[in-house]
A and B are shown apart, each in its own frame.
Chain A
Amino acid sequence: MSEASAHALEHHEPETSTGIPNKKVLMWAFLGSDCMFFGTLISTHLIYRKISATVGGNFLDIRDVFDIELTSFSTFILLASSLFMALAVSAIHKGNLSSTRWMLFGTIIFGAIFLACQVYEFTHFVHAPGNELTLSSYRGEPHVFGSTFYVLTGTHGTHVAIGVFWLVGWFVYSFTGKMSTADALDIECCGLYWHFVDIVWILIFPVVYLMEYAF
């Protein structure tokens, strides 16, 4: 028998020992790993945030460059995108394709706004007159804050960007007419990822931004 003719055979999702689909277990395992990823970055940042090369209490106030209003806004936008994502997952489970499509679109737009804010923030910080925060310095003096800040938030931004690409993939796919409730599991996995990236930001926002105003 050739492989091609065998393809015609009915394909059914295999039952699993736990009842949880394989893809979901895989996704959770990956997210567990990603926790350690961000855990390492965040702890690096916490260790370094008060250290500068010119040691001896000569800590430069990072608040001079931060734009907390903008970051608060983008945080709100990212959190709101999770609502759209949850609604998209709910819609595909119910088989409501049009609702799924536009909820995905909403998630994409909000994710894109967050990314735009981050791009603006990075360029703004690097070129802030008198307060330049670069990868290796702050106000022209050697500093580690820029290193940990850009690498940490940049890694998060990369995660968001990957999520946006993934969602765009689904959005485009929704116009092919092939989308059905059979895709619910895959979209749910996409949703798990998106919510996870959100949750990481909920941690990053206080630890990296708000803490500079408190301690």
Chain B
Amino acid sequence: MSSVAATEETAAHGHHPHSEDRLALLKAVPFWSTDHKVIGIQFLLTTMFMMMVGGSLALGVRWQLAFPWENMPILGYLFSGAAGGGQISPEFYTMLFTMHATVMIFLVIIPVLAGAFGNFLIPLMIGADDMAFPLLNALSYWVMWPAIFCFGASFVFNEGLWNNGLAGSIAAGPASGWTSYPALSAISSAAPGSGTAQFWWLMGVTMVGVSSMMGSVNYMTTIINMRAPGMTMMRLPVFTWMTLIVSFLIILAFPAITIALVELMFDRTYGTNFYDFLEGGKPHLWQHLFWIFGHPEVYILILPAMGIVSEIIPVFSRKPLFGYGLIVFSGAIIGFMGFAVWSHHMFTTGMGIVATSAFSILTMLIAIPTGIKIFNWIGTMWGGRIRFETPMLFALGFITMFMVGGFTGIMHSSVPIDAQHQDSYFVVAHFHYVLIGGALFGLFAGFYFWLPKLTGKMLNEKLGKFVFTLMFIGFNVTFFPMHYLGMIGQPRRTHSYNEGHGFETWNQIATIGAFILGVGILIGVYQFVTAFFNKKLKDAGKNPWDARTLEWTLSSPVKEYNFARTPIIKSRDQAWENNYGPKENHSDKVPLDDHGVHMPDRSWYPLVSGLGFLGLVLGLLFHQSVDANTGEILRDYTYAIAGGSIAIFGIIMWSLEGPAGYHLFPKETEE
């Protein structure tokens, strides 16, 4: 509410208290808002928090591998209970890496790239006032919370708690890896974490799927349908293109895992035989369904980062993007082929020579469009006047580190090599080079680049460079030795190793690197969060980087209504053309619309629906109980039905509200 009042007052009186406006967006964050910028910040802050959680879990893993068989200081005693004596148990370790991957993939990288960047940037880049469906957008954020709740609860509310109290509960967290292969995930008694904790996990992933689906259909509609006049598809900024492709990937890939999850839940709850090999099912099917989702997922994580880098490199090279069409089409080809390479995750399962060869060849082919993009970025920098500011440093870090990860990826496309690397630390090194060196560096580049647009203040450049240095060094010190460790035979997902293998030194070096990386990320996140209220920071102005795309024609922070007048697009880099281009390329200044700018109403109902879904999840989770006397399984659906009804009630009330809204009338002076 406060943000509406502030902007309307501003519109009426024509003056503009800058710092208040900056806080206005932030103040809307704990509540439901339909403003895509606020939802972007909501996603941003939530995922930053989850990144801290996921990072701590990873540090636990690193600590254990540096000093196996030794007691972990403080935390070890807390979690291992009296029996453990301070040493991390295999179950606890398994939980650590399972939840590290789960949190990082499902609660950090997907929501931050699509949710935070996508939400904030897409309407600004294409010249739209908001998303096509602002309320659906709000719901896609609020449905994240049931997911977060499920993942969080999986640590606590499980058999460990009921049998051994709080200390036992964390050791009985979900522990079948982020891939959750059956039988570990299908049979409740398979491992300490296979019981209720695993069920929480399944529910959590399902909810992430629901949230991503709602976000993606919205992005697709927005990008296809809400472009400003003159913004043809081949003038879209590359980030927008990549988000469009990723949206297609999400809506087509997530159903596969949703069905796999549903089948698994049926196996666990109703005794079906999908993955039960004793009764005729095939655990192998899970692997196929999981990776039919899982491989496009890899591109869901990396393509938006590629889009971000494609936006940043031209700006800091002061040259247009080299080979725009090629970048866009290679992205589309990557997305398309991403669906045809999933089985390279399963080369050692014995699929037969034909299937293995086919997937091997396709995997090698997919390196071509990826390589094209790298040459495009190099071509963009070639002969440019390069400024090494923080976003550019991260973008360069992205290119180099992603290339290392890409090369080891090509190595894995060869079946004999893959068979050697399978389940070794070499694979761990590979995907961390792609996901940290690629996705995380890409999104940090994006933060340093766009946060001035979001907060209206420049970030501290020196601190930014310090963060980059820490992260770059920490990252390489952590993960480069893992290539070697994998080659000499250290298996992944194994909680300890004996002396005499020569693993100790490099593992300890990797752990030191991990803590350096952790400190770097922590300072970075501190910098992002304080950017909203740190008063010492310099004003950003409209276009601090002399950047090229449409969002930089707007004031920082962006007004609630985004565009006071409809932007007329005449070229690909409109902000740049307005400043430096020939006269005929300048954007026309159209008169202000008499109708004002239409704004959607706020609504309680997305929040109500989100809570209803949470109730539904909880109800389904605990609908089963065993009669103490007869041993019969009792089913009670009251809570599930109640939750589902609340969700449906929310949706019905929401649809009855209709397309109401209000109008804002920006003044001539307000842009």
Q: Do A and B bind each other?
A: yes
Which residues does A use to contact B, with CB under 8 Å?
A: 1, 3, 6-7, 9-11, 14, 16-18, 20, 22, 25-26, 29-30, 32-34, 36-37, 39-41, 44, 47-48, 51-53, 55, 135-136, 142-144, 146-148, 150-151, 155, 169
Enumerate B619-660 residues with CB–CB distance to A below 8 Å.
652, 659-660
| A136 and B272 within 8 A (CB) | yes
B595 within 8 A of A: yes
**How many residue-residue contacts, CB under 8 A, span A and B?**
138
| B663 and A147 within 8 A (CB) | no
Q: Write 25 A-B pairs (CB below 8 A) sorted by A numbering.
A: A3-B601, A6-B662, A6-B663, A7-B661, A9-B596, A9-B662, A17-B224, A22-B132, A25-B220, A26-B218, A33-B255, A36-B255, A36-B256, A37-B258, A40-B259, A40-B289, A53-B278, A53-B279, A135-B272, A136-B273, A136-B279, A142-B273, A142-B279, A144-B273, A155-B262
Q: With A11-B659, A25-B225, A29-B220 as known contacts, state yes or no: A144 contacts B281, CB within 8 Å.
A: yes
B458 within 8 A of A: no
B178 within 8 A of A: no
The docked-state distance in angstroms from the alpha carbon of A9 to that of B226 is 22
B251 within 8 A of A: yes
B227 within 8 A of A: yes
Q: With A22-B221, A22-B225 as known contacts, state yes or no: A44 contacts B270, CB within 8 Å.
A: no
| B221 and A29 within 8 A (CB) | yes
Q: Is the interface of A mostly helix, strand, loop or mixed?
A: helix
* Closest residue of B by beta carbon distance from A186: B655
Nearest chain A CB to B183 CB, angstrom units: 15
| B289 and A33 within 8 A (CB) | no
Q: Which residues of A contact B224 (CB under 8 A)?
A: 17-18, 25
For B598, give its contact among A14, A20, A53 (CB under 8 Å).
A14
B263 within 8 A of A: yes
B8 within 8 A of A: yes
| B285 and A47 within 8 A (CB) | yes
Q: Which residues of B contact A32 (CB under 8 A)?
A: 251-252
| A3 and B289 within 8 A (CB) | no
Q: With A6-B663, A9-B595, A136-B273 as known contacts, state yes or no: A17 contacts B256, CB within 8 Å.
A: no
Q: With A22-B132, A142-B278 as known contacts, state yes or no: A33 contacts B272, CB within 8 Å.
A: no
For A52, give its contact among B258, B280, B282, B662 (CB under 8 Å).
B280
B271 within 8 A of A: yes
B113 within 8 A of A: no
The docked-state distance in angstroms from the alpha carbon of A45 to that of B413 is 30
- Which has the most chain B C-beta neighbours within 10 Å: A10, A14, A17, A41? A17
Enumerate B254-306 residues with CB–CB distance to A below 8 Å.
254-256, 258-260, 262-263, 266, 270-274, 278-282, 285, 289, 292
| B255 and A37 within 8 A (CB) | yes
| B274 and A44 within 8 A (CB) | yes
The docked-state distance in angstroms from the alpha carbon of A6 to that of B663 is 6
The docked-state distance in angstroms from the alpha carbon of A53 to that of B278 is 7
Q: Which residues of A contact B256 (CB under 8 A)?
A: 36, 40
Q: Which residues of B contact A143 (CB under 8 A)?
A: 273, 279-280
The docked-state distance in angstroms from the alpha carbon of A1 to that of B661 is 13
| A147 and B273 within 8 A (CB) | yes
The docked-state distance in angstroms from the alpha carbon of A169 to that of B649 is 12
* Closest residue of B by beta carbon distance from A150: B272
Q: Which residues of B contact A7 (CB under 8 A)?
A: 660-662
| A18 and B259 within 8 A (CB) | no
B133 within 8 A of A: yes
Nearest chain B CB to A81 CB, angstrom units: 23
The docked-state distance in angstroms from the alpha carbon of A3 to that of B256 is 43
B217 within 8 A of A: yes
| A147 and B255 within 8 A (CB) | no
Query: How does the 8 Å CB contact mask read for B1-44 relative to A, with 1 for contact and 0 for none?
Result: 00010001000000000000000000000000000000000000
Q: Which residues of A contact B263 (CB under 8 A)?
A: 44, 147, 151
Enumerate B225-266 residues with CB–CB distance to A below 8 Å.
225-227, 231, 247, 251-256, 258-260, 262-263, 266
B213 within 8 A of A: yes
| A11 and B598 within 8 A (CB) | yes
| B132 and A151 within 8 A (CB) | no
The docked-state distance in angstroms from the alpha carbon of A9 to that of B663 is 8
| B271 and A136 within 8 A (CB) | yes
* Closest residue of A by beta carbon distance from B233: A17
Starting from the known contacts A16-B225, A44-B285, A151-B262, 20 additional A-B residue pairs (CB-CB under 8 Å) come to A3-B601, A3-B662, A17-B231, A20-B225, A29-B216, A30-B251, A33-B251, A36-B251, A37-B258, A40-B259, A44-B289, A47-B282, A53-B278, A136-B272, A142-B273, A143-B279, A144-B281, A151-B263, A151-B272, A169-B652
Q: Which residues of B contact A150 (CB under 8 A)?
A: 272
Nearest chain A CB to B561 CB, angstrom units: 13
Q: With A26-B132, A52-B280 as known contacts, state yes or no: A135 contacts B271, CB within 8 Å.
A: yes
The docked-state distance in angstroms from the alpha carbon of A135 to that of B265 is 13
For B279, give its contact among A20, A29, A41, A144 (CB under 8 Å).
A144
The docked-state distance in angstroms from the alpha carbon of A39 to that of B254 is 12
